[in-house]
Structure 1
Amino acid sequence: MSKQFTVSVFPDNIDEIDYICECGTVNSKLPKPTSCILLIGGAEGETSGEDSATRWFLKRLDRGDYLVLRSPRIGRQATWICNHYRNFISSSAELAINSREAANHPQVMQYIRDADALFIAGGDQNDYEDFWEGSGIEEAINYLINQKKVPIAGTSAGMAILGDYYYAPAHQGVLSSEILNNPFHHNTKDIYYSDFIKVPIFKNVITDTHLNRIDKEHPEPRYGRLFGFLSRVVHEKGNQLPALGIGLEEGAFVAIDDKGIAQVFGNGTKEGQYAYFLQTNDAAPEQIKPGLPLIWNNNGQAVKVYKISGTPEGSGHFDLNNWSIASGGSWEYWFTTGGVCGFTQKPIDS
């Protein structure tokens, strides 16, 4: 039976916290979940890849309590889990937070700390940064990751904030052409550094999602954007290497086990559902200055990338402990000889 509470933290009775348990009851047997991470590129769409990745994730829950965390309002993820994967869980609930005051509410912190698996939903990562960073929610999430060590999943904005470095734009998200033609474009000012969610395996990693999306609101794919983000990370680190990145196309699911080994789920189609693992290749950008095109060439080898196409069965092997042991995919170099016009993704074997 569902239960719901709403807490108002302002005198004008604005609703700032919503919680609903869609099915089940809190597990009294103290399950023993296994630590893992599931990264989701967005636009899941109830596909075969999503089903396989979800089952992989929920098996590590040990029939515990599944919690969806989001902003600004309750969604349908917890209900979807109840409808399709009831045998994997003891309960499935959602918690929506809309203010920093709400993010420090004791009941909010307790609901998160009691979870045996946490799913951070998509939405606006700027809301997550504004409302959650430096709050009780941040403390509770990091407790789940580093002390309780439960399964953690993030899709779209929820994936973006799991990186050690993360992009949370307050205004319009930057386009690939904008950051490549000017790495300090005003839409890049909201790149944050190592001050939020602490996932040990993502040290020095920045993430991006929806890499292949093109529509009226997203006129360009995001491959160059992620490359540009990585250049900024290198710059902000004072050219200390390495800097790392993970980017997902829509419909790609990167499943990382408790040993730090990643595989990729997807629908096995010929286009889309690729996961990309980026690493700097011993050289900082040759030119990274405000108002000037990014030059990061290093003889056509600026960033080394391993890409894996997801399948319903799970494909590939990428070791996030060393970023070198890999199989089931292919290596390529990304570089730019000058801005977006010089940006190239080149297979190493070509």
Structure 2
Amino acid sequence: MGSHSDFDYYLAYGNRDSVTIQPQPGILLIGGAEGDKSGEHEATQWFLERAKGGKYLVLRVGRIKKQADWIAQHYRDWIHSAAELSINSREAANNRKVVDYIREADALFIAGGDQTAYQEYWEGTATEDALNYLINEKKIPIAGTSAGMAIMGDYYYAPHHQGVLSSEILDDPFHYNTEHIHRSKFLEVPYLGRVITDTHLDRLNQKNPETRYGRLLGLLARLIYEDNNQLDHYAIGLEEGAFVAIDEKGIATVFGNGTNIGQDAYFLQTNGALPEQMEPGWPLIWDHNGQAVKVYRIPGTPEGSGYFDLNDWSTAKGGQWKYWYTVGGKSGLRKTSL
């Protein structure tokens, strides 16, 4: 364990010796509840195969946890090393040693946690530059779960309060909890330009009294508004047991548990019409004769299923096209098949 100021580095397995490999790019989006999920093993193998026996790095805010240990325990034959790096201030994010740890990576996993902290500590720093070097110059595979997935889109939602509920954003798309929808050059991830992502779509518990499907629709409406009503925007939402693997050609496949619960991925795009009502204090109306937003749903399976082309957002198989729309707020939310 190495600790300095506001960062910690933990080498769970292997060493930092140089390795000569050529990583293969790829993107793994994770719905937020990994940990012995059916389909996780296959998705992890898909990801680690692209590391080509190189150095695996977990990036997070807060204290070091168990993710690198888990990789070292179950997949050490696939990697040269497994380490975790926690970066907890902007000063640490500009530290030369931190930058060196990042640039060494041949596979990067951005952990869950608080995307607001990721934004506040890392955006606009040498850490951001190092991450984009990995993604777009070294071209290594990158994965993100929960908060880690949230910051991988061109747009991202980083609430400074409790995250907005589906009812709040659909009943008022300018609800105060929507003020932290960002577009920046934080992470420049291929195929996720003009995309906002969301995770845990199906989570219901004491802290999450509503699912997030309606929230995803509301976030898409809001970012279109923020970008001068330009319709060419997209959203990707995952249920907690879904793992979306995007290869270097922009083709997405979904790993999951192969059941009807908790393993679906949703790819949203507008269908040629702006919301009919988008005003502060009033419910969102985005109807367009029941065809406001086209959504392709792919259920994940342990072996990987479906095919969705993120180059054109239309070539797809193995799933089902649907329309999502609202005739007025959360109570008016509808989902119908094409």
What TM-score results when the alignment is normalised by the length of structure 2? 0.99
1:34 aligns with one of 24, 39, 45: 24
Please give the per-residue CA displacement for 1:93-116, whole angstroms capped at 9, x wherever unaligned: 000011111111111111111100
2:2 aligns with one of 5, 15, 23: 5
How many equivalent pairs are there? 338
In the TM superposition, residue 27 of structure 1 has moved relative to its aligned partner by 5.1
1:200 aligns with one of 187, 190, 201: 190
2:247 partner letter: D
Where do 1:179-328 residues align within 5 Å? 179-328=169-318
The runs of at least 4 aligned residues of structure 1 exceeding 2 Å deviation read 26-29
Where do 1:330-349 residues align within 5 Å? 330-348=320-338
1:171 aligns with one of 161, 175, 178: 161
Aligned mates of 2:199, 2:114 — CA distance in 1? 12
2:56 aligns with one of 56, 66, 82: 66
1:133 partner letter: E
Aligned mates of 2:64, 2:81 — CA distance in 1? 16
Please give the per-residue CA displacement for 1:168-218, whole angstroms capped at 9, x wherever unaligned: 001110000000000010111110013311113111000000000000000
Aligned mates of 1:48, 1:286 — CA distance in 2? 41
1:154 partner letter: G
**Corresponding residue of 1:46:** 36
Is contact 1:247–1:275 with CA below 8 Å preserved after alignment? yes
1:142 aligned counterpart, secondary structure: helix
Which blocks of at least 5 consecutive residues in structure 2 are unaligned? Answer: none
Aligned mates of 1:27, 1:174 — CA distance in 2? 45
2:192 partner letter: F
1:201 aligned counterpart, secondary structure: coil
2:77 partner letter: N
Aligned mates of 1:228, 1:260 — CA distance in 2? 26
Aligned mates of 2:335, 2:128 — CA distance in 1? 36
Please give the per-residue CA displacement for 1:236-260, whole angstroms capped at 9, x wherever unaligned: 1111121100000011000000110
Aligned mates of 1:290, 1:136 — CA distance in 2? 38
Aligned mates of 1:108, 1:252 — CA distance in 2? 31
**Corresponding residue of 1:113:** 103
2:191 aligned counterpart, secondary structure: helix
Aligned mates of 2:321, 2:299 — CA distance in 1? 12
2:159 partner letter: P
Aligned mates of 1:226, 1:168 — CA distance in 2? 14
Aligned mates of 1:125, 1:75 — CA distance in 2? 17
2:2 partner letter: F
Is contact 1:73–1:97 with CA below 8 Å preserved after alignment? no
2:130 aligns with one of 96, 118, 140: 140
Aligned mates of 1:58, 1:292 — CA distance in 2? 47
Which blocks of at least 5 consecutive residues in structure 1 are unaligned? Answer: 9-15
Please give the per-residue CA displacement for 1:264-285, whole angstroms capped at 9, x wherever unaligned: 0001112110000000111111
1:78 aligns with one of 48, 52, 68: 68
What TM-score results when the alignment is normalised by the length of structure 1? 0.95
1:200 aligned counterpart, secondary structure: coil
